[in-house]
Amino acid sequence: MGKVVTLGEILIRYSTEKGQHLEDSSRLFFHYGGSEANVSIGLSGLSHDVSLLSVVPNNPLGQGALQHFRKYGVRTSDVYYSGERLGSYFVEVGAGPRATSVVYDRKHSSLAELTQTLWEDDTLFEGVDLFHVSGITPALSDELVDITCDLMKRAKESGVRVSFDSNYRAKLWSLEKASSVYKQLLPYVDIFSAGKLDAINLLGITPLEETASTVDELTYYSQKMQEIYPNISVIYSTTREVVSTDENYLQGNLWIDNTLYQSRNMHVPYIVDRIGGGDAFSAGLLHGLLTKDEYQHSIEFATGMSVLKHTYSGDSLYISEEEVENFIQSDSSKINR
Amino acid sequence: MGKVVTLGEILIRYSTEKGQHLEDSSRLFFHYGGSEANVSIGLSGLSHDVSLLSVVPNNPLGQGALQHFRKYGVRTSDVYYSGERLGSYFVEVGAGPRATSVVYDRKHSSLAELTQTLWEDDTLFEGVDLFHVSGITPALSDELVDITCDLMKRAKESGVRVSFDSNYRAKLWSLEKASSVYKQLLPYVDIFSAGKLDAINLLGITPLEETASTVDELTYYSQKMQEIYPNISVIYSTTREVVSTDENYLQGNLWIDNTLYQSRNMHVPYIVDRIGGGDAFSAGLLHGLLTKDEYQHSIEFATGMSVLKHTYSGDSLYISEEEVENFIQSDSSKINR
Amino acid sequence: MGKVVTLGEILIRYSTEKGQHLEDSSRLFFHYGGSEANVSIGLSGLSHDVSLLSVVPNNPLGQGALQHFRKYGVRTSDVYYSGERLGSYFVEVGAGPRATSVVYDRKHSSLAELTQTLWEDDTLFEGVDLFHVSGITPALSDELVDITCDLMKRAKESGVRVSFDSNYRAKLWSLEKASSVYKQLLPYVDIFSAGKLDAINLLGITPLEETASTVDELTYYSQKMQEIYPNISVIYSTTREVVSTDENYLQGNLWIDNTLYQSRNMHVPYIVDRIGGGDAFSAGLLHGLLTKDEYQHSIEFATGMSVLKHTYSGDSLYISEEEVENFIQSDSSKINR
Amino acid sequence: MGKVVTLGEILIRYSTEKGQHLEDSSRLFFHYGGSEANVSIGLSGLSHDVSLLSVVPNNPLGQGALQHFRKYGVRTSDVYYSGERLGSYFVEVGAGPRATSVVYDRKHSSLAELTQTLWEDDTLFEGVDLFHVSGITPALSDELVDITCDLMKRAKESGVRVSFDSNYRAKLWSLEKASSVYKQLLPYVDIFSAGKLDAINLLGITPLEETASTVDELTYYSQKMQEIYPNISVIYSTTREVVSTDENYLQGNLWIDNTLYQSRNMHVPYIVDRIGGGDAFSAGLLHGLLTKDEYQHSIEFATGMSVLKHTYSGDSLYISEEEVENFIQSDSSKINR
Amino acid sequence: MGKVVTLGEILIRYSTEKGQHLEDSSRLFFHYGGSEANVSIGLSGLSHDVSLLSVVPNNPLGQGALQHFRKYGVRTSDVYYSGERLGSYFVEVGAGPRATSVVYDRKHSSLAELTQTLWEDDTLFEGVDLFHVSGITPALSDELVDITCDLMKRAKESGVRVSFDSNYRAKLWSLEKASSVYKQLLPYVDIFSAGKLDAINLLGITPLEETASTVDELTYYSQKMQEIYPNISVIYSTTREVVSTDENYLQGNLWIDNTLYQSRNMHVPYIVDRIGGGDAFSAGLLHGLLTKDEYQHSIEFATGMSVLKHTYSGDSLYISEEEVENFIQSDSSKINR
Amino acid sequence: MGKVVTLGEILIRYSTEKGQHLEDSSRLFFHYGGSEANVSIGLSGLSHDVSLLSVVPNNPLGQGALQHFRKYGVRTSDVYYSGERLGSYFVEVGAGPRATSVVYDRKHSSLAELTQTLWEDDTLFEGVDLFHVSGITPALSDELVDITCDLMKRAKESGVRVSFDSNYRAKLWSLEKASSVYKQLLPYVDIFSAGKLDAINLLGITPLEETASTVDELTYYSQKMQEIYPNISVIYSTTREVVSTDENYLQGNLWIDNTLYQSRNMHVPYIVDRIGGGDAFSAGLLHGLLTKDEYQHSIEFATGMSVLKHTYSGDSLYISEEEVENFIQSDSSKINR
């Protein structure tokens, strides 16, 4: 299996029970999450050797974060104590026609207030196959733009593939700011998770006419992005149809070798927890790129892994390759006994 | 916003966890409810100034009721200590094809045993826009028939609009008894929540042939009711299609100015708690009548508010106008982040 | 009502909350179950006098099992203390597209290690109408093959009808072993719960061509089984369509008097707990055979009872005949209030 | 072991979690209790054959009560469906210096509204050793005074010993009323649970001077009570020292054959739930009277059983004779492993 | 009763279950607290008319805070939406010999980042009897020093008594900084909650020799503080003896009219939640000052109220005067039934 | 810090809530434990590099065990998949005067059925400072006697100190069997955890007269044990006084260099969970031996760590050296804020 390094923030998530107002709750569920952190756990479950680069405060909340990631096999030797708080967010879990709503309280976090890189060790990328980061990390501060850029550069120099998940969050930065940062980062990127809106809003690609089919759209925007950044060899995304908060359809899209591979359009008729679904998808897809060259299978695998994430609570999914394989090959929900 | 007075009983509701027999439960959920009380909380959330007229026993259960309503901004200065108990009911929550079942233990409650009105203050209806009561209240005792009638009369005399929700409960009184009481009350009513069965069984209107469309039916019964009680200017109801305990369709109907306004037929694909859905609908509709003259919007708003109630547990829904507006204008269940 | 004796193992079931990994759980739900034990509770709820033959360890877990069955009216005077443990199984509850998964830890249980029959009393079958056992019991040990066979024989000699539920479990024994045991047992059986796979794999019946309709299949296999064992007068089974872990369709099939009776294909749009659904079906069906000769009604009743089991958590369903009747006659999920 | 009949009301108890205000609770614990019902479960655990005479409403709450008592081996064939509700009470669990507080809602219960006896069967007391009832039962209504009196009389006529636990509750009746009823009942009583206050307030015995020792007091009041009712052969009570809500000392007193037997003064350094402690004491004591003539041991046993009740939650204690014996013979709290 | 205005921050408290590491918790209890906010709820329960001056973010957490305080009768019309977060703290609940530990995450809160006063309305102190604030508020920012000072000044000018609870928190500011701010504020203070350490460290009073009795110490420091600030007419404090995390002794001290009043030394043999004990004490004491001139009774009342707080979970105690009176007059923990 | 290898079984523990009968529980707490496994977590928390030798079944329960130990930093690279089950035990948590009781179901576990060593790698003890095992491991099977003996031998040969905790369990083997095995093992042991009963019953040492002081006893038995096994350089034990299930006193004893070091007699006035207290003590003591030569401090540290374990639920304690140091140096239970 591969050796992976990720960079990103660990967040605390507080969530209500389904059907409860946040205002009326006297207990909240407490989970650790964070986009790249979730990808790390996903890849660790699939047997990769994953190390997370991050910072946490030196208090029980930070220590608990380390224990959490260690439990799922993620190496935390490059997570340092620094700063004073973990960013957090509050989830009022939706139901049926009512969407889940999120309140953030993530400013002034340990990572957001980091003033200089802590990962200067020359051996950081030794033997590493992949470096993964999302757009959330550089959105946290100008310092993190520099740190992200520096690590991407060093990864490239060490022959490590660079994976970047756009993951644009309007609450963190403007489209203008993000666009300008992306221009700095994308020249180093090999694997890019981005969709139509990223292409238009962040890379400035002219929108295709509205009547185009999904396949045409995916092909058009992928090609256009590769025109600008020929270094990008893989582009992936999901197409999600929201029937209700509890029922979605999910289809994975993988653009590689100038070809579009699409998974089946998978039905998720009952959703336990959608948060982290995209990160599980990334983990599944990166797993495919790290281990095989069967692209059709890789996109099925990634989508299946994302679907499975929807059936578990918590931000991340720690599950074996075998379980995902069994899932995408089975076609029923019989009890296994 | 408006100033509203309501009259009604506060009930305790004990409910099981989904999938549990009442007989096997060792813990029960404990909520305060009651039809008019629920309407009060709904209107308070929508920023109206609402005062509840009721009585509770002077013990921790009664005091807890006051705290509950105060939490949601309902004025309780006209709730008095009297009698010995709060009525209660037990809910074994249904699932899928199995309906929710309810056991009542509401006899001998403080309100049912009230022997004379406690609300004789001349200023009770000063500046008030609306007086709301449901058919459950006069069903509790003969004294409450008199009290209800007296309050309706005084409201009318003070220029206050009177709202009456039929809410016929066969376990509380016979159709005959109810019919005769309705004859006393309806001459004071401006806004009437009633459907086909109320029209036929309680107002004695000749049934329309079975083949009539829903629109024709709603029109026919509304017109007939207004013929008898020309003082009634607004008639409203919901049409509910029960797919299963967890999935319903809901459509709101509003008859005003000799015109029928119907909301979209809204899908509730996952129901957390249906109880109080009708009261939330009333609250939403009365809000529209208190604030605007856009009838089509009012019925959409009321139905949307009822749908939202189905996604929260508990008998009442305390939610802002903005949240309901966002809900009826959105068309997906995306996570808000 | 009838008098029934059953023979079988009492199991402990540990289950997760929906959406939780077994590996991440810090609390587990704790229920008693076991196929014949579940049937016993079902029949007791339907007002039959049921006695369970079993053994449990003499410790709080065994004593708790006795209390559990006594609570639901099952006589436990023929359950003895013996051996050292109750078998158990762990359920990671599935959701949507992900199936529920089960891990067994049932070896070396009190019943599996029983070395000789404890039920030699001549009066055991006095006044008894039915003796019920499933294929799980003889699968536990060679001694239990003998004990089962002996009890069937004695039942027959006492004029008691013998009911046998095939319930083949690949984790307990091979098809070969099971086939040879079934040859011993089936000559004593009156009522047989078995489907197509049992007929082919365990009774060696030649498969019908694949294009046959379900009705043709059920007829063919039933007739063939009766050809081999003409003593079998009743054959029953369910046809289950798994839409997702949370949504199934269920149809009951009853072959009697050379006629196939099928229930409506019942929809279970929301499943709380599917485990024990087959045992509730058996209980409902045996109830019909014990009390009436209305076969069409019996199969509706049995299927309705199984559907209701899907809406309650726990392995068994204790519910009155009236509740099942109301359920199969109603056609909506209105709140009963 | 003995055969016992008891008469009394089954109550529902709702309790808070420790440290919670009743007003702030959103879930309540739900238990069945009632003084004589608790004694019944206690005696059943000690292997006596106990039948409870009572009435419950024919709804899930009443049915659940039957299941509850059946679980603990109490025969419920003489519990009838009648009336509309179970009485209930609410417990705000105290802590440390704050006492537990109780709110009753028990009026209009099925038993309190029973208008005539349901237990006229001549065979009711056949083979019975003991009939037990407490002062709570006749306090519920005049009809229950008659029913209690009639059953005591019939018990005596059948040669059954009659046990009466004074259990005076000021919230149910006045001292005057109780005194006059006790005059009717006590001539039939063999075993009387009563203390100093009962002697003075209900039997009109002149108080002893305040400086008397406890032993002198117990002797004096016992002798005086026997002077009035020479039919009473056994008088018992407990002396409780309340250090705090969580810590008590408990000593049992047994007056028999003109001799006072006192248990050790047992320390309960941590109390889980004190409610039902007196009923467990009665069960333990009646057990001794039913099985042995070792009075010193009986009072130790009864007190030990009461102490054990304090360490379990719920109103009743179902525990074996062996466990109580082990407890009173051990002198430490080592883990048994 | 009195009319009271308080100024202070509303905090969120997350706490573990007893015996759980914060690092291992997957659910946390969620309460609202804050020193002055707790005092407000305490005074409201004692029937005073209390208005809280504060700011909260305009999100569900802020809205929930408003509902919480409204539930307990505290007026929130002077709580404004401002800033982005509520400060929070995490409590790992101790047990026995292990102390409870607290982690703060309160920086950058809405109140701490408030840049100018929001309470300029001239009528703010109209009819008000008391203005209460603690040292935590000015510790949050320089702006809050000014705001606190300004409000104290205006209160004095309006003839309102000013109450100041020292409540020094080393994690918020240095002794030097606090000392200098106290010099600004204390000239306006009538009622001062402060102990020996405050006197020495913050007011610079020369320590008394170590051998002095507690009474001498309390007298000495009170007199010295009054020498510097003759405007201070009341000084109060508690003396707490910590036997273990679960067992404390508490004695209240009140210095007024040059006399020291001390409560009994009250035993708290079992502590549910100690946090907020000091605020409940303040509420009880201010209640006495607002309503009576019986100083000995006032200090008993205040200490009793603090003891009661220790028996309930949550930061604040909402309890009636009658309940506190009953508590301090009773001397046992009998069940009230 | 040191490098440590341990050998032992991982157990599942199911426990009730305090005050619940096992028979009445519908949910059980689920923890991983096992004596040596607990010591491993304790040492890992104190910053040692610990590797556990064990086997678990290849199913979610076994995988969950690995995650659990990994979370707390214990290396699991020498835990293999083998066998079919984890041993388990059930804990009915005691209270006050009632002891906690334990039911085992540990036969046929993966480790007990291991037929040959899996740890033959020559490098196993490279750089290792300590090998720890308890008497429970060889008690499981004859094969485990051989495996334990072989590992002790190889450890000695590699210059690794061998630690052996007697931990005699009567439910697992007889005194005779244990004595004979101890004769095989003790010649390899450097550090021995054993008390008076071990010395007498397992090593055959003549009992000292009963009137000897504890210090004399500890000295006598330690010297006698060293006479037989001069290779033993350290002997340690605890003296526990059980006031009640919730309150103990604990004193640690360390015999080294012919000197007895005793800790203070520490009070545990409130016990959350006593299980694992001895293992935490061992971890604390071995930590002292691995890092310092201050024996008096080491025994205080070990006892303090054990006391802290009593205040947390679960079998093991993961806590830093600093936290233990703070605890033994502090003398109060003030809130740290």
CB-based contact E316:E42 (threshold 8 Å): yes
Q: What is the largest CA-CA distance in chain B?
A: 55
Rounded-to-integer distance, Cα E105 and Cα A332, Å: 47
- Choose from A21, A98, A247 for mutation: most chain B CBs within 10 A: A98
- Domain E3-328: CATH class, spelled out: alpha beta
Is D312 part of the contact surface with chain C (CB cutoff 8 Å)?
Answer: no
State the chains in contact with A (3 or more Cβ–Cβ pairs under 8 Å): B, C, E, F
Choose the closest CB to D334 out of F18, F242, F275: F242
ipTM of the complex: 0.93
- Put simply, the answer to whether B71 touches E73 (Cβ < 8 Å) is no
Instruction: For residues A60-66, give the mean pLDDT.
Output: 97
pLDDT digits (tens, 9 = 90+) for F33-81: 999 999 999 999 999 999 999 999 999 999 999 999 999 999 999 999 9
Is D97 part of the contact surface with chain B (CB cutoff 8 Å)?
Answer: no
Is residue D324 scored above 90 in pLDDT? yes
pLDDT of residue A68: 97
Residues of chain B with C-beta less than 8 angstroms from the C-beta of D28: 14, 27-28, 30
User: For residue E179, which amino acid is it?
Assistant: S
pLDDT of residue E333: 54
Residues of chain D with C-beta less than 8 angstroms from the C-beta of E336: 99-102
Residues of chain E with C-beta less than 8 angstroms from the C-beta of B73: 70
pLDDT digits (tens, 9 = 90+) for C173-220: 999 999 999 999 999 999 999 999 999 999 999 999 888 899 999 999
User: For residue C284, which amino acid is it?
Assistant: G
CATH fold for the domain made of B3-94+102-329 = UDP-N-acetylmuramoyl-L-alanine:D-glutamate ligase (3.40.1190)
State the chains in contact with B (3 or more Cβ–Cβ pairs under 8 Å): A, C, D, E
User: In which band, very low, low, confident or very high, does the pLDDT at B226 lie, cut at 50, 70 and 90?
Assistant: very high
Interface A–C counts its CB contacts (< 8 A) at: 75
- Put simply, the answer to whether F335 touches E244 (Cβ < 8 Å) is no
Centre a 10 Å sphere on the Cβ of residue B264 and count the other Cβ atoms it contains.
Answer: 14
Choose the closest CB to D28 out of B30, B90, B101: B30
pLDDT of residue F293: 83
**DSSP three-state, residue C57:** coil
Residues of chain A with C-beta less than 8 angstroms from the C-beta of C169: 337
Residues of chain C with C-beta less than 8 angstroms from the C-beta of F105: 61, 84-85
CA C98 from centroid of its chain's CA atoms? 24
∠ CA(C230), CA(C235), CA(C241), 5° rounding?
150
For the record, the structure tokens of E332 come out as 């046992």
CB-based contact C109:C86 (threshold 8 Å): yes
Rounded-to-integer distance, Cα A238 and Cα A310, Å: 14
Rounded-to-integer distance, Cα C150 and Cα C184, Å: 10
The pTM score is 0.95
User: In which band, very low, low, confident or very high, does the pLDDT at B337 lie, cut at 50, 70 and 90?
Assistant: low
Choose the closest CB to E108 out of A60, A103, A108: A108
Interface C–D counts its CB contacts (< 8 A) at: 12
Rounded-to-integer distance, Cα D103 and Cα B12, Å: 15
Choose the closest CB to C95 out of A266, A311, A330: A311
For the record, the structure tokens of B271 come out as 């129901």
Nearest in space to E55 (alpha carbons), one of E72, E78, E21? E78
User: In which band, very low, low, confident or very high, does the pLDDT at D49 lie, cut at 50, 70 and 90?
Assistant: very high
Is F279 part of the contact surface with chain C (CB cutoff 8 Å)?
Answer: no
Contacts of D219 (CB under 8 A, 6+ apart): D255, D260
CA A193 from centroid of its chain's CA atoms? 9
Residues of chain B with C-beta less than 8 angstroms from the C-beta of C336: 99-102
Is D231 part of the contact surface with chain E (CB cutoff 8 Å)?
Answer: no
pLDDT digits (tens, 9 = 90+) for D163-221: 999 999 999 999 999 999 999 999 999 999 999 999 999 999 999 988 889 999 999 99
- Put simply, the answer to whether D97 touches E268 (Cβ < 8 Å) is yes
B 240-259 → C contacts, CB under 8 A: 242-247
CB-based contact F280:E66 (threshold 8 Å): no
Q: Is the dihedral of CA E179, E180, E181, E185 positive or negative?
A: positive
Choose the closest CB to E97 out of F267, F314, F337: F267
Strand partners, A4: A50, A130
Is E81 part of the contact surface with chain B (CB cutoff 8 Å)?
Answer: no
CA E74 from centroid of its chain's CA atoms? 15
CB-based contact C39:C168 (threshold 8 Å): no
CB-based contact D303:D253 (threshold 8 Å): no
Contacts of C329 (CB under 8 A, 6+ apart): none
- Domain A3-329: CATH class, spelled out: alpha beta
CA C176 from centroid of its chain's CA atoms? 22
For the record, the structure tokens of E161 come out as 């008594």
CA dihedral B52, B55, B60, B66 (to 10 degrees): 10
- Put simply, the answer to whether B270 touches A246 (Cβ < 8 Å) is yes
**DSSP three-state, residue E260:** strand
Q: What's the alpha-carbon Rg for chain A, to the nearest Å?
A: 19
Q: What b/e string do you get for C231-263 counting C-beta neighbours within 10 Å, with b at 16 or more?
A: ebbbbbbbbbebbbbbbbbbbbbbbbeeebbbb
Helix (H) or strand (E) holding F71: helix F60-71
- Put simply, the answer to whether B98 touches C313 (Cβ < 8 Å) is no
Please provide the DSSP assignment of E51-73 as one string: EEEEEE-SSHHHHHHHHHHHHTT
Rounded-to-integer distance, Cα A302 and Cα A306, Å: 6
- Put simply, the answer to whether A67 touches E26 (Cβ < 8 Å) is no
3-state helix/strand/coil string of D274-324: CCCHHHHHHHHHHHHHHHCCCHHHHHHHHHHHHHHHHCCCCCCCCCCHHHH
Angle between helices A60-71 and A35-45 (to 10 degrees): 30
Q: Are strands F234-244 and F247-256 parallel, antiparallel or unpaired?
A: antiparallel
Is E274 part of the contact surface with chain F (CB cutoff 8 Å)?
Answer: yes
Give domain limits for chain B: 3-94+102-329
Query: Which of the pair, A230 or D1, is modelled with greater confidence?
Result: A230
Nearest in space to D167 (alpha carbons), one of D250, D93, D251, D278? D278
Chain E, nearest residue to F308 by Cα: E98
Rounded-to-integer distance, Cα F253 and Cα D213, Å: 47
Rounded-to-integer distance, Cα B182 and Cα E69, Å: 41
Is E67 part of the contact surface with chain B (CB cutoff 8 Å)?
Answer: yes
Backbone angles phi and psi of C166, in degrees to 5: -55, -55
Rounded-to-integer distance, Cα A335 and Cα C94, Å: 8
Is A267 part of the contact surface with chain F (CB cutoff 8 Å)?
Answer: no
∠ CA(C171), CA(C176), CA(C180), 5° rounding?
115
- Put simply, the answer to whether A95 touches B330 (Cβ < 8 Å) is no
Choose the closest CB to C333 out of B18, B97, B169: B97
Centre a 10 Å sphere on the Cβ of residue E140 and count the other Cβ atoms it contains.
Answer: 23
User: For residue F69, which amino acid is it?
Assistant: F
Choose the closest CB to D333 out of F89, F244, F275: F244
Residues of chain D with C-beta less than 8 angstroms from the C-beta of E270: 95-97, 244-247
Nearest in space to A130 (alpha carbons), one of A304, A1, A8, A236? A1
Contacts of E69 (CB under 8 A, 6+ apart): E10, E32, E37, E40, E41, E52, E76, E79
Backbone angles phi and psi of C251, in degrees to 5: -130, 135
Is E68 part of the contact surface with chain B (CB cutoff 8 Å)?
Answer: yes
pLDDT of residue A331: 58
Rounded-to-integer distance, Cα F127 and Cα F119, Å: 16
Residues of chain B with C-beta less than 8 angstroms from the C-beta of D103: 59-61
Residues of chain D with C-beta less than 8 angstroms from the C-beta of B30: 14, 25-28
pLDDT of residue B211: 86
Rounded-to-integer distance, Cα C111 and Cα C115, Å: 9
Instruction: For residues F134-144, give the mean pLDDT.
Output: 98
Residues of chain E with C-beta less than 8 angstroms from the C-beta of F271: 96
Is residue F331 scored above 80 in pLDDT? no
For the record, the structure tokens of E170 come out as 């080393």
- Put simply, the answer to whether E99 touches F336 (Cβ < 8 Å) is yes
Rounded-to-integer distance, Cα E280 and Cα E301, Å: 10
Rounded-to-integer distance, Cα A286 and Cα D93, Å: 55
pLDDT of residue F330: 85
User: For residue D81, which amino acid is it?
Assistant: Y
pLDDT tens, N- to C-terminus, chain E (337 residues): 899 999 999 999 999 999 999 999 999 999 999 999 999 999 999 999 999 999 999 999 999 999 999 999 999 999 999 999 999 999 999 999 999 999 999 999 999 999 999 999 999 999 999 999 999 999 999 999 999 999 999 999 999 999 999 999 999 999 999 999 999 999 999 999 999 999 999 999 999 988 889 999 999 999 999 999 999 999 999 999 999 999 999 999 999 999 999 999 999 999 999 999 999 999 999 999 999 889 999 999 999 999 999 999 999 999 999 999 999 998 555 555 5
Residues of chain B with C-beta less than 8 angstroms from the C-beta of C327: 97-98
For the record, the structure tokens of B155 come out as 């409201």
CB-based contact A282:A336 (threshold 8 Å): no
∠ CA(F166), CA(F168), CA(F172), 5° rounding?
135
Is residue D337 scored above 70 in pLDDT? no
